[in-house]
């Protein structure tokens, strides 16, 4: 969430930022409400001053044993007026807060301006494998190896859900454990295993609500949401808390299942494992000091890249453009793994800096050691990395002519030292 004072003092900057995002919102209406609020706030302060003055006068008259009925009557009039103005103030503040929750973050100056095709490729890693046979898609490989059952998953739940089986289930678990071990043992993250259900306040804190409610799975009887990513529960660990400067930075990693209805994506890339409603992901979340947050973003990106490098999967990194940024992000890198069976680059990680946007919504602050001043932390997160698309890339890149899959060396200790999946 943006600070109303910042918007007031930098109105044109915010309007320009919204234009870069192609986001339509009437900020002038917000400013009118804010002006009314500030006017009434001044009136309340003046009335309170009158109230205090009248109070003092009543006390003095009582000491002098003089008549106070007139002053008490005046006090009642002032108190009633204060109550009325404060009710108006509360209503205006609610309107302002509701509007603030609909304003996206301001893109960082380094973010390319424009539509999604303006994204900038930063680097590529690895060599795209040249096959001497027609590479199969992951759907064909899963069927031949009998490691994912799409039809029975649809029978159990519905379309775009997954049933991993046998070595497919073991491979999924191996990938999760490999990533958690890497991030905790090599990259300095503390492992968290959070709830998969969160309340409305938490979803609002990280920016999924109110904008994306239709894309979420909600338990209406409890007003709880299945998490779309571990970002939500992990970021909200420090909701309404004040950290000490010495505690920062804080790095957390978490495996969770993730649930997304993706109501606006019907019919888009829905085959196989490319776009599913439930998927596994290892998430990376950081709480850092503002002055370090963009250095921390680069480190976060490198942590996610290391996963693909150790798996030996070719990938590319790109900076998303202003119109492709998530609602809460100020800057975002996507990592896309190459899948030869699709002949496509598949997003397996998004690494974002939200600056103080989420922290202001969730009220996460830190106390500076020297000045004792309270500031909002900067929050960052990234997939470290997401399945099932990494599962796709692994199968399609490591497939052999006979239909077997060579297992990357780093995963073999998690798979009974097995070196390939075969019939």
Does residue 92 share a domain with residue 121? no
User: Do the Cβ atoms of 92 and 4 come closer than 8 Å?
Assistant: no
User: CB-hemisphere CA count at 13 Å for 344?
Assistant: 12
What's the mean pLDDT when you consider all of the chain?
96
> CA angle, corner 379, sides to 376 and 380, nearest 5?
160
Does residue 324 share a domain with residue 232? yes
Residue 106 maps to a domain = no
pLDDT band at 78 (very low <50, low <70, confident <90, very high): very high
Residue 354 maps to a domain = yes
Structural domains counted in the chain:
2
pLDDT digits (tens, 9 = 90+) for 311-339: 999 999 999 999 999 999 999 999 999 99
Q: What are phi and psi of 27, to 5 degrees?
A: -70, -25
pLDDT band at 213 (very low <50, low <70, confident <90, very high): very high
Does residue 266 share a domain with residue 216? yes
Q: Look up the domain containing 16 and give its range.
A: 4-100
pLDDT digits (tens, 9 = 90+) for 149-158: 999 999 999 9
Does residue 237 share a domain with residue 133? yes
Alpha-carbon distance 161 to 405, whole Å? Answer: 23
Does residue 378 share a domain with residue 250? yes
Alpha-carbon distance 297 to 245, whole Å? Answer: 19
The CATH number covering residue 91 comes to 1.10.287.40
What angle do the packed helices 389-397 and 138-145 form, to 10 degrees? 80
**Residue 63 has what pLDDT?**
87
Burial 345-363 (b: 16+ CB within 10 A, else e): bbebbbbbbbbbbbbbbbe
Residue 109 maps to a domain = no
Strands 278-288 and 250-259: antiparallel
pTM score above 0.75 = yes
**Residue 147 has what pLDDT?**
98
Residue 211 corresponds to which tokens in the numbers above? 């904008």
Residue 110 maps to a domain = no
Q: How far is CA 64 from CA 53, 58, 60, in A?
A: 17, 10, 6
Helices (H) and strands (E) in the chain, counts: 12, 16
**Which DSSP helix (H) or strand (E) runs through 290?**
none
Residue 315 maps to a domain = yes
The CATH number covering residue 384 comes to 3.30.930.10
**Residue 271 has what pLDDT?**
76
Maximal CA-CA distance, the chain = 107
pLDDT band at 68 (very low <50, low <70, confident <90, very high): confident
Does residue 205 share a domain with residue 307? yes
Q: Could you tell me what percent of the chain has a pLDDT over 90?
A: 92
| 342 CB-contact burial (10 Å; exposed 0-12 / middle 13-18 / buried 19+) | buried
3-state percent helix, strand, coil for the chain, nearest multiple of 5: 45, 20, 35
Q: Could you tell me what percent of the chain has a pLDDT over 70?
A: 98
On the question of pLDDT at 363 being above 90, the answer is yes
Alpha-carbon distance 70 to 248, whole Å? Answer: 59
Does residue 136 share a domain with residue 70? no
pLDDT digits (tens, 9 = 90+) for 97-141: 999 999 999 999 999 999 999 999 999 999 999 999 999 999 999
On the question of pLDDT at 2 being above 70, the answer is yes
Alpha-carbon distance 67 to 90, whole Å? Answer: 36
Residue 57 maps to a domain = yes
Does residue 209 share a domain with residue 137? yes
User: Do the Cβ atoms of 50 and 78 come closer than 8 Å?
Assistant: yes
Which of 100, 127, 153 is the endpoint of a domain?
100
**Residue 270 has what pLDDT?**
63
Residue 320 maps to a domain = yes
Does residue 345 share a domain with residue 416? yes
**Residue 269 has what pLDDT?**
60
User: Do the Cβ atoms of 237 and 364 come closer than 8 Å?
Assistant: no
Does residue 414 share a domain with residue 287? yes
pLDDT digits (tens, 9 = 90+) for 246-268: 999 999 999 999 999 975 554 45
Residue 105 maps to a domain = no
Alpha-carbon distance 358 to 205, whole Å? Answer: 6
Which of 100, 128, 162 is the endpoint of a domain?
100
Does residue 278 share a domain with residue 343? yes
What mean pLDDT comes out for the span 142-148? 97
CB atoms within 10 A of CB 343: 11
Which of 100, 131, 158 is the endpoint of a domain?
100
Does residue 199 share a domain with residue 341? yes
């Amino acid at each position: 969430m943006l600070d109303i004072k910042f918007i007031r003092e930098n109105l044109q900057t915010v309007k320009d930022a919204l234009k870069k995002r192609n986001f339509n919102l009437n900020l002038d209406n917000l400013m009118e409400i804010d002006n009314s609020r500030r006017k009434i706030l001044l009136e309340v302060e003046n009335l309170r001053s009158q109230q205090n003055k009248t109070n003092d006068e009543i006390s003095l008259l009582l000491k002098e044993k003089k008549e106070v009925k007139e002053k008490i009557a005046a006090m009642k009039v002032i108190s009633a007026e204060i109550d009325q103005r404060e009710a108006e103030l509360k209503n205006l503040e609610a309107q302002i807060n509701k509007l603030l929750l609909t304003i996206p973050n301001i893109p960082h100056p380094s973010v390319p301006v424009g539509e999604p095709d303006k994204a900038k490729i930063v680097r590529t890693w690895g060599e795209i494998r040249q096959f001497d046979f027609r590479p199969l898609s992951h759907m064909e490989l899963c069927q031949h190896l009998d490691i994912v059952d799409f039809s029975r998953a649809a029978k159990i739940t519905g379309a775009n859900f997954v049933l991993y089986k046998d070595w497919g289930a073991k491979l999924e678990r191996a990938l999760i454990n490999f990533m958690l071990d890497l991030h905790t043992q090599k990259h300095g993250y503390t492992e968290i295993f959070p709830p998969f259900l969160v309340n409305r306040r938490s979803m609002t804190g990280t920016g999924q609500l109110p904008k994306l409610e239709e894309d979420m799975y909600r338990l209406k009887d409890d007003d709880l949401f299945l998490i779309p990513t571990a970002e939500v529960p992990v970021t909200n660990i420090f909701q309404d808390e004040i950290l000490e400067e010495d505690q920062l930075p804080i790095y957390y990693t978490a495996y969770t299942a993730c649930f997304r209805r993706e109501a606006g994506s019907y019919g888009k890339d829905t085959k196989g494992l490319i776009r599913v409603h439930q998927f596994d992901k290892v998430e990376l979340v950081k709480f850092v000091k503002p002055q370090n947050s963009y250095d921390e973003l680069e480190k976060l990106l490198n942590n996610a890249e290391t996963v693909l490098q150790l798996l030996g999967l070719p990938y590319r990194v790109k900076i998303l453009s202003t119109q492709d940024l998530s609602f809460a992000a100020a800057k975002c890198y996507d990592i896309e793994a190459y899948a030869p069976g699709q002949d496509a680059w598949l997003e397996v990680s998004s690494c974002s800096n939200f600056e103080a946007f989420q922290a202001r919504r969730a009220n996460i602050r830190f106390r500076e050691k020297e000045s004792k001043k309270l500031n909002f932390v900067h929050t960052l997160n990234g997939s470290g990395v997401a399945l099932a698309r990494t599962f796709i890339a692994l199968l399609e890149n490591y497939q052999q002519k006979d239909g077997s899959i060579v297992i990357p060396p780093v995963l073999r200790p998690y798979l009974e030292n097995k070196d390939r999946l075969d019939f």
